Amino acid sequence: MPINITMPALSPTMEEGNLAKWLVKEGDEVKAGDVIAEIETDKATMEVEAVDEGKGAKIVVPAGTEGVKVNAVIAVLAGEGEDVKDAAKAAGNGAKAEAPKKEAPISPSVGEMSAKPTEGAAVPPASQAESASNGAGRSSTLPPSSLPGISPTRGEIGQSQRTFASPLARRIARDAGVDVAGVKGTGPHGRIVKADVEAAIAGGGAKAAAPASAPAAAAPAVKPMSDDAVLKLFEPGSYELVPHDSMRKTIARRLVEAKTTIPHFYLTVDCEIDALLALRAQINAAAPMKKTEHGEAPVYKLSVNDMIIKAMAMALMAVPEANVSWTETNMVKHKHADVGVAVSIPGGLITPIIRRADQKPLSAISNEMKDLASRARNRKLKPEEYQGGTTAVSNLGMFGVKDFAAVINPPHATILAVGVGEERAVVRKGEIVVANVMSVTLSTDHRAVDGALGAELLQAFRKYIENPMSMLV
């Protein structure tokens, strides 16, 4: 029996990936745990390990192929005692026969599925898979949120309980004036898919008759301008078109998701950082030296950002009610402060996470952050190194930005935007003096963190920044 190797879901939000390189070829013996391929996702380049043993029978998707859907068959192994040629011939039929055995809902549009998901891979929701295969990159259809309790219908809470339909099916029905509640679903678990709506339209399906349905129809946001409408505003030949890559699509989707489903509000304070700068210089000067291939180098070199990460982590532990994540049924109260840090990489950004930053010394945070940032820029992060977290820090002060407001990265309830530290005139005891001041803005999810609680968190952060010795004890 041939063994199908499928494109794994290397993160909960992954819909497709690029098959960068094969590390095995047809005819090679493959053992469980062998690294067989490199996959490029929207976040990183990761190695894929085999979960079965066999001999390479057929490479279905060649190296360099872009946009391979999650769970699509990419290669076939011949099982023990099976002829390689026979396994290769039976590959297509085997994949189709095994697909219905999946317990999780699978969109028919995804293609052939393996009966055995890759170890550690997450099966995407059916709505996400169908949206990816039928409308990937379309700004008019938002893929569903990975957050619990958020409907795929553009942030409507609890609407998916009424009618189980894919985003694409809903859009087609809305454009045609068909009430999806009157359409019979033939997809997994009775889900309404594209084909069901098209059949209802062709057969004169039920029209949206009730004014009561109008509020639900009005809920989605206004459609953005079409590509053609935008391009007509510019002189032909005055521009070039650069297709969106998977990272840019993911960033766009998550930003829209965050701003449409999370009620943001913002708090800003100024922090004096003279004491912090002095302590940083003192700690760096006292750093022990180590021998490297380039000569002696300090064991660590703290940055202001390292100290900001530590201060934010300790502030969350001091105000535990703000160290939370929102779900529709529960408030998730975290026991540790896992701080994500926005890192700019070619084509976008990624947020690697310093786990348990509240428990780590500044030197450990500094070295870990340098390692994560380096591997992030080379797209070598593992999913567990950038997924999750309890808050995030975005620092544009290094670019001279004075202040800004960052967009919350779900499932976080907060994100801290850090501006440049600069000399400003401040008043102390009626006298004007010069001090190094840094403006920070806290964006909070108002569902989870109210105004007073956010202010308390920000005051705790400022206390650690202005009294940095407290971070060392």
Tell me the catalytic residues: 446
What radius of gyration, in Å, describes the C-alpha atoms of the chain?
Answer: 26
* Angstrom distance (rounded) from CA 244 to CA 352: 23
Tell me the C-alpha distance between 241 and 231, whole Å.
10
Q: Which pair of structure tokens corresponds to residue 117?
A: 């998901």
39: helix, strand or coil: strand
Task: Decide: residue 252, CB within 10 A, 0-12 exposed, 13-18 middle, 19+ buried.
Answer: middle
Burial of 154 (0-12, 13-18, 19+ CB in 10 A): buried
Joined together, the tokens standing for residue 141 give: 């259809």
**What is the distance between the alpha carbons of residues 98 and 16, in angstroms, rounded to a whole number?**
21
Rounded to an integer, what distance in angstroms lies between the CA atom of residue 109 and that of residue 116?
19
CB contact at 8 A, 313 and 357: yes
Q: Could you tell me the CA-to-CA distances from 142 to 135, 221, 305, 406 in Å, in that order?
A: 9, 10, 34, 21
> Can you tell me the distance from the alpha carbon of 318 to that of 337, in angstroms, rounded to the nearest whole number?
10
- What is the C-alpha to C-alpha distance for residues 343 and 340, in angstroms, rounded to an integer? 9
Cβ density class 296-322: b for 16+ within 10 Å, e for less: eeeebebbbbbbbbbbbbbbbbbbeeb
Residues 6+ apart with CB under 8 A from 55: 27, 28, 29, 30, 77, 78, 84
Closest CA to 359 of 319, 304, 324, 310: 310
